[in-house]
Homo-oligomer: A and B are copies of this chain.
Amino acid sequence: MPRIGIFGATGYTGYELIKLLMNHAEAEIVFATSRSNAGQQLSDLYPCPYELPLTAPERATVDKVDVAFLCLPHGESMHRVRRVREAGVRAIDLSADFRLRDAAVYCQWYKVAHAAPELLLQAVYGLPEVYRQRIASADLLANPGCYPTSVLLALYPLVKDGYLGDSRVIVDSKSGVSGAGRKLSSKTHFVEVNENLSPYNIGRVHRHLGEMEQELAAWGEVDVRVTFAPHLLPVDRGILSTIYITLKAGWSVERLLELYKRTYVGEAFIHVLPAGTLASLAYVVHTNRCAISFAEAGGNDFIVVSAIDNLIKGASGQAVQNMNLMFGLDETMGLPM
């Protein structure tokens, strides 16, 4: 039974993680930190019955845990990860700090020099459906971003086998508001979001592009260039990505289904939908699943539609899935189906 510490427990990913671990048969939360709410309990902040005390990060008893989850902002997380690793404790980092293997690429997207570049190569990118073996033995786990999870799981079977005929991919993503975090901003004020739909950071701007293109390049023969257009959706949770691709000749939805079902056979959290059915948020919210579906767009053009819950498969649920793998537990333990 892994003993667990959580840094940054009071953001949306921290809260979701705690709710998952509270229902996990083999997890024991030893500490949960909050800089601004130290001394309070989780039930003072969130509408829940959990009287979990929040401690200042300085008072966290890292030596008493087997694994630390870091739900901190990027740039801050890497400092805490270094100290966790120096204490010999395994780390699951939900920030972006260890997802990019190249410190220069990190600096390009995140506009800050990496403070722990020596740890970058240790880090394992925590997409279990692709890197299950490496994850099992990882000491530093970089939990994938929410948008990249929805896109990478949707493209992996095609890219790893070199089936993309055109190296350009257009990703039109729509995300629920919890993805923007709990920090106050006029962009997340109810009246600004409700009955609205807003594109933001579209084109070649969003930071998750680096992460997507790194993995696609690692899997395929050629560099894939992604056009990425995220939109803010008036729902609490969920990401739907509509992905426009051009394949080499000879494809159909049936052949796509055959490839994906074969690639993902036995995967508990991948739901490949039958022909004629398209993924929607309702397939996945409040679960750790990723739903994937296909449509023809004429000629060699196809559309892949994938959906995840951004807080579960796109963050805390995938982190628990990774923890399960790292500690030899049933991969699905504690995860809503």
Contacts and interface: CB of A to CB of B under 8 A. Distances in A.
Contact of A197 (B12, B189, B233, B295): B233
Q: Which of A184, A191, A195 has the most CB of B within 10 A?
A: A191
B244 A196 contact: no
A151 to B, nearest CB: 14
Given A190-B193, A234-B194, A303-B227, A242 B297 contact: no
A187 B30 CA distance: 30
Interface stretch (A126-134, A154-162, A199-207, A312-320): A199-207
A87 interface: no
A199 B22 contact: no
A192 interface: yes
Contacts of A225: 298
A186 B184 CA distance: 7
A277 to B, nearest CB: 9
Interface string A229-252: 101011111101010100000000
B188 A49 contact: no
B242 A282 contact: no
Contact of A184 (B185, B227, B233, B297): B185
Interface residues of A, number: 66
Interface stretch (A93-101, A113-121, A170-178): A170-178
A126 B229 CA distance: 31
A92 B249 CA distance: 46
B182 A189 contact: yes
A204 B298 contact: yes
Chain multiplicity (copies): 4
A278 B196 CA distance: 13
B229 A337 contact: no
A126 B303 CA distance: 32
B192 A189 contact: no
Contacts of A170: 170, 244
Interface stretch (A141-149, A255-263, A283-291): A283-291
A193 to B, nearest CB: 4
Contacts of A281: 195-198
A258 B229 CA distance: 23
Interface of A: 12, 22-23, 47-49, 168, 170, 172, 174, 177-178, 182, 184-186, 188-200, 202-205, 225, 227, 229, 231, 233-238, 240, 242, 244, 271, 278-283, 285-286, 289, 291, 295-298, 301, 303, 305, 336-337
- Complex A-B, nearest 3 residue pairs according to Cβ-Cβ distance, in ascending order: A198-B280, A47-B282, A172-B172
Given A194-B194, A197-B280, 4 more contacts: A47-B291, A172-B229, A190-B190, A244-B244
